[in-house]
Amino acid sequence: MDKKKVIVTERIAKEGLDLLRSETEVDYREGISRDELLDIIDQYDALIVRSVTKVNEELISRASRLKVVGRAGNGIDNIDVDVCTRYGVIVANTPDSNTISAAEQTISLLLSSVRNTAWASSYLKSGVWDRKPFRGIELYGKTVGIVGLGRIGSMVATRLKAFNMKVIAYDPYISDERFERFGVEKKETLEDLMKEADIITVHTPRNEETMHMIDEKMFELAKNGVRVVNCARGGIIKEEALLKGLESGKIASAGLDVFEKEPAVDNPLFKFDNVVCTPHLGADTYEAQKRVGETIAEQVIKALKGEIVPNVVNLPTMFTEELEYLRPYIVLAEKMGNIYYQIEKSPVSRVEITYSGPVTKNETKMLTIAFLKGLLSPVMWEKVNYVNAEMLAKDRGIRIFEQKEDQSPKRYKNLISARVVNRGHDLEIAGTLSRARRPLLVEINGYETESTLEGYMLVVENEDRPRVIGPFATALGDEGVNIAGMKVARKNKGERAIMIINVDNKVEEDVLKELGKIDGILGEPKLLYF
């Protein structure tokens, strides 16, 4: 049998290439031109890239043999995952290969900045022997505040505890059990962490919620002489606020591996001797690059053999008739899971899922994985997929329970019911498929409804009385928001009720706040997106 052909368009470690060559025919073409790649891509079964090669429809549409795209690294900004999915091409990456290196780079920058190591080295090499400007501080006995207790954040916590530091952390999406496992004191708010920490290090993704999360107001709460480290993503700590803090002396030192604009050239932060800067070196170690190369090679080989592939970004890992039957239920389960963190901020400790009806004759494990993928997607730094969702949930202290019932307890033939447990705001939901096999939400916290889980959806609690629903709908219309569908539910007449409203466009945050002030509306409406 002929070997599968793999083209590698960017540099990966020799160990990865050697592993590929042991199983496949490898064409290593670092620096290949775009035009040439487009001309020859139809000859290959697999493509391995890093961050430069653009994997878009122009390329994929010509790749008639392509089965898998391997990204040697974490980010997939250069890969159009939706296009790959549409063409049936698996996309796999290596999100965990650089975690140790990133954690160690954090420690390196922390130590260098608090002891003025880089500044002192430059000073001495210039020909001056003088210790006076470089007096630093010990880590012993200090309090470090970690923002984000995921994989890298927890590794940093473990290492800094070895310095006999007090470790506190803020992460609203991590369970209490994980804090306890790493011996870290949980802070309920970022403000509480800022007030207490002598040193602050961030380990979160950069998204709408975290961009500039540490700004001028946050630094006003911090101790005088606070020290900061950012090896996560540029912009989580607002650079303008950091600049002002360094100029005023509020911030004693900083260690920075990432910047709001990269490549960073002539950044005003570079003028400070008490700021240690590196050019995004977090993953740039021999060991990390070796792991990246070997891991992506292993995944591509598995994909070409039709085996289960870890870190698949876009597709389920089983391709059977059963999977085809279950596919709309997979979509349903994932969208149901996606509801929780769009409504609640409390960390999850337990997930209970019940499958009812004929669907239980199939393997429902994939549905549970899809639910967990949907649950974690809004809050995870790493790209969550069908392969790693269960592992990542367990890593965060989430206990998972699954059961099956032959008969559905409600009028629906097949039903997926889920209970997401936290510290007092449990969410209970149930869903099924419509006749057109589209995902439907049929119950939320005991309120019966039949609402399509597509596009934008408003969840509104209201008093069950006249002149509430009408004014609310009118107010939406006044804001140019068209209602596509509405379901109203109550448990008992005259008590609290709920509206589930499908709308055609996004409702902005300031509009939601105003809607929450309407007489009879109980709290600010929640906007969900699917």
Q: Hey, which bits of 132-202 come out as E strands?
A: 143-147, 166-170, 185-186, 199-202
Q: For residue 252, give the nearest of 115, 425, 375 by alpha carbon.
A: 115
State yes or no: is 280 an active-site residue: yes
- Same topology, domains 1-94+285-315 and 99-277? Answer is yes
3-state secondary structure of 91: strand
Amino acid at 73: G
Choosing from 178, 233, 291, 396, the catalytic residue is 233
pLDDT of residue 163: 98
Choosing from 262, 322, 405, 509, the catalytic residue is 262
DSSP string, 257-287: S--SSSS--S-GGGG-TTEEE-SS-TT-SHH
> How do the domains of the chain map onto residue ranges?
1-94+285-315, 99-277
DSSP string, 299-353: HHHHHHHT---TTBSSS-S--SHHHHHHHHHHHHHHHHHTTHHHH--SPP-EEEE
The answer to whether the CB of 30 falls within 8 A of the CB of 8 is yes
Question: Tens of pLDDT along the chain (530 residues)?
Answer: 589 999 999 999 999 999 999 999 999 999 999 999 999 999 999 999 998 999 999 999 999 999 999 999 877 879 998 888 888 788 999 988 889 999 999 999 999 999 999 999 999 999 999 999 999 999 999 999 999 998 899 999 999 999 999 999 999 988 888 899 999 999 999 999 999 999 999 999 888 889 999 999 999 999 999 999 999 999 999 999 999 999 999 999 999 999 999 999 999 999 999 999 999 999 889 999 999 999 999 999 998 987 767 788 886 544 456 767 888 999 999 999 999 999 988 899 999 999 999 999 888 988 998 999 999 998 885 567 675 788 789 888 999 999 999 999 889 999 999 999 988 779 999 999 999 999 999 999 999 999 999 999 999 999 999 999 999 999 999 999 999 999 999 999 999 999 999 999 999 999 999 999 999 999 999 999 99
Task: Considering the domain delimited by 99-277, tell me its CATH architecture.
Answer: 3-Layer(aba) Sandwich (3.40)
Give CA–CA dist 18/2, Å, rounded.
18
Choosing from 159, 280, 327, 399, the catalytic residue is 280
Q: Find out if CATH 3.90.180.10 is the number for domain 1-94+285-315.
A: no
Q: Cα-flanking dihedrals φ and ψ of residue 462, to 5°?
A: -150, 160
The answer to whether the CB of 456 falls within 8 A of the CB of 502 is yes
State yes or no: is 115 an active-site residue: no
Helices (H), 338-411: 340-343, 365-376, 389-395
Q: For residue 236, give the nearest of 167, 116, 160, 146 by alpha carbon.
A: 146
State yes or no: is 233 an active-site residue: yes
Plot region of 446 (φ>0 → left; ψ -120 to 50 → alpha; else → beta): left
pLDDT of residue 319: 43
